Amino acid sequence: MFSEVHLSMKKKQPLISIVIPLYKVAPQFYEAVYKCLELNYSNYEIIIGIDKGINLPLRHPKVIFMKTRQSRTGPGEKRDLAISKAKGEYIAFLDDDSYPDRNWLKKALLHLQKQKVEVVCGPGLTPPANGFSQKLTGAILASYFGSGPFYFRFIKATPRYVDDYPAYNLIASKRVLRKVGGYGTKFYGGEDTALCLKIINLGYKIFYHPDITVYHHRRAFPQGYFKQVGNVGLHRGYFVKIYPKTSLRFVYFLPTLITLFGVILIIYSIFDFGIALLIISSLGLVYYFSVFIESIRKNQLHITLLLPPAIFISHIVYGYYFFKGLLMIKNLKR
């Protein structure tokens, strides 16, 4: 009797293609694959997009490798190759440094059916095993002062509809993905913005739910994270011109405006150091304690103490590259 019920449930599970574009062979990549193999869902395949010339000692009946024709391609190109070959009714995207909760696909399918939508997404949480510098980066991302209104991408927040979401945790019907032409871009950073915009432009909705959970390894602070946030800022600034529907928003300009305000204060201090110092110290104290109060409820004390300056510096890095992308004339391909 149990086996009959089990088989009946299995038949009701649609085939889901998990797509992982490989950028760099690292322990996090193997962790992503092995965690997928432990999912509390039986009917799935794992498609790994790899560049020409890459060979991996990974063999499993559920794992399929798709090789590009070039030796260096972006994640959008690898995902498009996987979409063209995927057999699943739905396609679930991960990054090569993110891994799913055991119930990831079950929860995704539940909300796809419950909300009657074609695309769902969920948070990318900081893995518990991450080190101090990575957890500091995670605290920046999970803070409203660090990520603004988009901090829900990095915590378990309230359900909502979104119009732009990273592909480290995005699940969509194959029908819609093929209808919009997949990613169709060589952008390395922001390729998910291009995809989501095509999806919403055709009238489809993207639903975020906190139960659709993955864990996303953070870049180490400061070098790794600043490189990442600089790339994000550069693409967002460039996207203001080509994707204004989702990128021409005041919140994306704020880090640049804050940076410019700081430069103005420094210049002003040459003429009136006392007033400039008073303004800087007053604003600095208000800012520091605002971040401190928000953080102390969620993070350890040593993270909380470092978080305000870490967020401030990250905004300067982002703001600089955003401005650079905004002024960029040549095409930004990667």
List, as one string, the DSSP characters of 85-109: H---SEEEEE-TTEEE-TTHHHHHH
> What's the pLDDT tens digit per position in 204-252?
999 999 999 999 999 999 999 999 999 999 999 999 999 999 999 999 9
Task: Between 332 and 315, name the one with better pLDDT.
Answer: 315
Token representation of residue 203 = 């009238």
State yes or no: pLDDT of 309 exceeds 90: yes
Give the β-pairing of 44-50 and 98-100.
unpaired
The model's pLDDT over 101-153, given as tens digits with 9 standing for 90+, comes to: 999 999 999 999 999 999 999 999 999 999 999 999 999 999 999 999 999 99
Structure confidence at residue 57 as a pLDDT band (50, 70, 90)? confident
Hey, what are 281's tokens?
A: 């110290």
Strands in the chain per DSSP E: 16-21, 44-50, 63-67, 90-94, 98-100, 119-121, 124-125, 160-162, 169-173, 206-208, 214-216
Per-residue confidence (pLDDT) for residue 333, from 0 to 100: 62
Domain spans of the chain, in order of start? 2-134+157-217, 238-327
Q: Is the pLDDT assigned to residue 165 strictly greater than 70?
A: yes
pLDDT tens for residues 248-295?
999 999 999 999 998 999 898 898 999 989 999 999 999 999 999 999
pLDDT classification of 71: cutoffs 50, 70, 90: confident
- DSSP β-ladder status, 206-208 and 119-121: parallel
Q: How far apart are the first and last CA of the chain?
A: 55
Rounded distance between C-alpha atoms, residue 125 and residue 134, angstroms: 12
Burial of 289 (0-12, 13-18, 19+ CB in 10 A): exposed
pLDDT of residue 8: 36
Alpha-carbon span 192 to 234, nearest angstrom: 15
Q: What is the CATH number of domain 2-134+157-217?
A: 3.90.550.10
Q: Point out the least confidently predicted range of 10-24, 40-54, 158-172, 312-326.
A: 10-24
Residue 7: band (very low, low, confident or very high) from pLDDT cuts 50, 70, 90:
very low
Largest CA distance in the chain: 85
Cα→Cα distances 123→33, 100, 271, Å: 19, 10, 48
Using alpha carbons, select from 90, 77, 47 the residue that is nearest to residue 176: 90
Query: Band of the pLDDT at 334, cuts 50, 70, 90?
Result: low
Based on the number of CB atoms within 10 Å of its own CB, is 241 exposed (0-12), middle (13-18) or buried (19 or more)?
A: middle
Closest by CA to 197, choosing from 236, 227, 225, is 236
pLDDT tens profile 166-208 = 999 999 999 999 999 999 888 887 899 999 999 999 999 999 9
pTM: 0.91
